[in-house]
Amino acid sequence: MALKAVSIWGYSKVPPPQLGAGLANSHPTPIWNQRYDFDKCRRWECCCLGVSAQRATTAVEDEEPNVPPLVESSGAADGVHQNESKGFHKDINQLPKPLTTIDISSSSSSNGSKVRVAFQGLPGAYSEDAALKAYPKCETVPCDNFESAFKAVELWLVDKAVLPIENSVAGSIHRNYELLLRHRLHIVGEVQLRVNHCLLGLPGVRKEDLKVVVSHPQALDQCEKMLNDLGVVKIGARDTADAAQTVASNCARDTGAIASSRAAKVYGLDILTERIQDDDENITRFLVLARDPIIPGTDKPHKTSIVFSLEEGPGVLFKALAVFAMRDINLSKIESCPLKQRPLRVVDDSNQGNSKYFDYLFYIDIEASMAEPRAQYALGQLQEFASFLRVLGCYPMDTVL
């Protein structure tokens, strides 16, 4: 766990009593701010990595969409084979149930004997794969939704959370961007996970026997070519792991699921075929969230994630981006979120939330460490005309797929 003496700082032109009041003198000066002109830095406020979201505009693999219920199988051999396959996965009822908000409010924290990592979805979800890539020996904790995972970390029920932030095919998950501002967590790492969609079925079933395929709507879209060739009916599910569990529980031999190879092991299904996605370069990026920031270094490539808002005016965004270009700092991501006429509750380091109005929020990932003077100077210049600025986290880049 990182030292609490090191903080991540953000900046706001809002007067101190409204945001971060009284915090300026209660936290030690961060290591990377020692080179700064302290007169310019008096109004930097301590931020606890937060960021935003009231609702996602893009559905994601592990997020829960509105989908119709699974129709009953119409296969002629259902009656014979259902009895043979009942209890096919004997331990389905013993799998951990996802945490809900009610569970979190009534649970006690972990004893810390093992790293506990929260993820959204059921066991076998891609998010669990990402958690195990980040922490191979961790205890994974399924959560019912994204916000439950945030709260589980805040309330010390788990040590970390691993949540998706963008997919190379489907785009960004805006819900998690907004939740970062609404909660007091820091980005301490990232995970790049190559998606390998597999077609799963009960043992002994061939893919030609399938009449129905169940999965998250996004996974169905990403495997459209193969599904069209099979001529199957496509039915949406909450997530890919839920689809695998449904097939295993219902013992429907004419129904398959699109999910991960891990889901096949968890639910006792056969992999009928794998790598069925239309785009082989299907990669999901996940963020690792923790209660405390890490001390940034320069021994390996780092990213720094920030969010800021600007006053309206000609060339203002150009000026904001120029502070990085003139220092040879590469931007690996830029995302804009329009929030006109919609207040956003932003939580500061004292866990006090204030509703603020932004025309746009800009989320940027820069390929530089906050331990580097060039990154410090860039943010120092950006604060001069940004109406709001917060550092969400500085963390090592994941360069291994």
> Residue 114: what pLDDT?
81
Which residue reads 């509105």 in tokens? 66
Q: Which of 284, 304, 308, 388 is catalytic?
A: 284
Question: Measured between alpha carbons, how far is 175 from 179 in angstroms, rounded to an integer?
Answer: 6
| Span(s) in the chain for CATH 3.30.70.260 | 294-345+354-396
pLDDT per residue as tens digits for the range 112-167: 348 999 999 999 999 999 999 999 999 999 999 999 999 999 999 999 999 999 99
Residues of the chain with CATH 3.40.190.10: 116-194, 197-276
**From 254-258, 332-336, 347-351, the region with the lowest mean pLDDT:** 347-351
284 is catalytic: yes
For residues 22, 24, 27, 31, the Cα torsion angle rounded to the nearest 10 degrees is 170
What average pLDDT does the segment 48-58 reach? 33
Residue 298, classed as helix, strand or coil, is: coil
Classify domain 116-194 at the CATH superfamily level: Periplasmic binding protein-like II (3.40.190.10)
Active-site annotation holder among 150, 286, 308, 358:
286
Residue 61, pLDDT > 70, answer: no
Architecture per CATH, domain 294-345+354-396, reads as 2-Layer Sandwich (3.30)
Q: How far apart are CA 401 and CA 68, in angstroms?
A: 34
Q: Token match 């690792």: residue?
A: 288
Q: Which tokens go with 292?
A: 């405390």
For the entire predicted model, the pTM comes to 0.71
Q: What is the pLDDT of residue 313?
A: 82
pLDDT tens string 92-111: 555 666 655 444 443 433 44
With cut-offs at 50, 70 and 90, classify the pLDDT of residue 400: confident
Give the pLDDT confidence of 363-392 residue by residue, as tens digits: 999 999 999 999 999 999 999 989 889 999
Range picked from 24-28, 47-51, 87-91 for highest mean pLDDT? 87-91
Is 304 catalytic? The answer is no
Mean pLDDT value across residues 214-239: 95
**Class assignment of domain 197-276?**
alpha beta
- The chain-wide mean pLDDT, for the chain, equals 77
| β 160-167/171-172 pair status | antiparallel
Q: Is the pLDDT of residue 37 over 50?
A: no
**Could you give the percent of the chain with pLDDT greater than 70?**
67
